[in-house]
Amino acid sequence: MTATIERGAATEPVASAAPPPRKVRFLTSSNGKKVVMAVTGAVMVLFLVGHMVGNLKIFIGKDSFNEYAHALRTLLEPIAPYRTLLTLVEIVLVVSVGLHIWAAVSLSRQARRARPVKYVARKKSQASGYTTHIMRWGGVTIALFVVWHLLDLTFGVVNPKGTNSLPADRMIAGFDPSRWWVTIIYVVAVVMVGLHLRHGIWSMFQTVGRGTARLRPVAALVSAVLVIGFLAPPLAITFGVVK
Ligand code: HEM
């Protein structure tokens, strides 16, 4: 591309746009996008581990759970205003989700462009097809679930206890035995999260050069622990173990 610079009366074509800085070029290259996926994925896994441990407080008691939810909002007081930490977490999560989806979509477009002819080997095609479907549709399902989940347990809009209620009451009312269908939605969504993570964590290991077969079970174990830890509270409430 060329542009013109005015020099007195005369104009002459010169090379225009300087190439983008090296860091930008790296982050928009396919290796850079994989790093973006790995880093944002790791941030989300850390959030999920913390979130799962926090949810398990419901087994200690309603008060313990409410105190934890309160602490999330008051932790940096009085140095910083009410809800500072939670707002920071929300900003980091929104940015991570956005970058993660951007990198995923553009990597998959790049891969499609580089492969104008469909796979010839049928076996390979089916295996890759399964992973692609799980990652793509699993990602969409998780995004829809998170919207429902926030309306339910954060804002209380679709929760029987409504907006002005304590977090533990929302949780227990939300998974009441009469609302078994909500628990089923959570089970399906959390299993999707687990499958997404199993492949995602493994890809993350590959991106950082640790993709040896020995680490495959680690990805599966982390995902399984998260699935079990997340599903324990809803199932315990629906089956009447926690009231
Ligand atoms: C299945 C079991 C789960 C339960 C019982 C649960 C419970 C909760 C509760 C009670 C809150 C509100 C916390 C508060 O207002 O203090 C919350 C917020 C949230 N949850 Fe979950 N959660 C579960 C799974 C998940 C999963 C799998 C994800 C992500 C894929 C997720 C993402 C979030 C997010 C993003 C928030 C908002 C955090 C904020 O306040 O900014 N949750 N969850």
Residue 6 domain-assigned? no
Q: Look at 225 and 125; give whichever has higher pLDDT.
A: 225
Identify which has the larger pLDDT, 31 or 118. Answer: 31
Domain count for the chain, please give it. Answer: 1
The answer to whether position 124 is within a domain reads yes
Report if residue 7 sits inside a domain: no
- Residue 16 domain flag: no
Contact 16, 2 (CB under 8 A): yes
> Ligand 1, atom 15: nearest CA belongs to which residue?
154
Q: How many CB atoms lie within 10 A of CB 218?
A: 13
Q: Is 12 helix (H, G, I), strand (E, B) or coil?
A: strand
Residue nearest (by alpha carbon) to ligand 1 atom 41: 90
Does ligand 1 lie within 6 Å of residue 51's CB atom? yes
Distance in angstroms (rounded) separating the CA atoms of residues 194 and 119? 28
Distance 131 CA to ligand 1 centre (A): 26
Q: How many CB atoms lie within 10 A of CB 135?
A: 17
Read off the amino acid at residue 74.
Answer: T
Distance from Cα 185 to the centre of ligand 1, integer Å? 14
Asked if pLDDT for residue 159 goes beyond 70, the answer is yes
Q: Is the pLDDT of residue 160 over 60?
A: yes
The conformation of residue 18, written as its DSSP 8-state character, comes to P
Between helix 84-114 and helix 30-55 the angle, nearest 10°, is 140
Q: With beta carbons less than 8 A apart as the criterion, state whether 242 and 58 touch.
A: yes
Higher local confidence (pLDDT), 171 or 27: 171
Percent of the chain predicted with pLDDT > 90: 70
CA distance 172 to 167: 9
Distance in Å, CA 149 to ligand 1 centroid: 7
pLDDT given for residue 164 in this prediction:
94
What pTM was computed for the model? 0.86
Compute the distance between CA of residue 71 and CA of residue 205 in angstroms, rounded to an integer. Answer: 33
Give the CATH number of the domain where residue 134 resides.
Answer: 1.20.1300
pLDDT of residue 155: 93
Residue 21's pLDDT band (cuts 50, 70, 90): confident
Q: Is the CB–ligand 1 distance for residue 139 below 6 Å?
A: no
Residue 20, domain member (yes or no):
no
- What is the extent of the structural domain holding 106? 28-238
Q: Is residue 89 one of the residues assigned to a domain?
A: yes
pLDDT above 50 for 10: no
- Indicate whether 187 belongs to any domain: yes
Q: How far is the CA of 17 from the centre of ligand 1 (A)?
A: 45
Strand partners, 10: 7
Query: Are β-strands 10-15 and 2-7 bridged in parallel, bridged antiparallel, or unpaired?
Result: antiparallel
Q: Measured from the CA of 190, which atom of ligand 1 is nearest?
A: 27
Q: Ligand 1 centre and the CA of 10: distance in Å?
A: 64
4 located within any domain: no
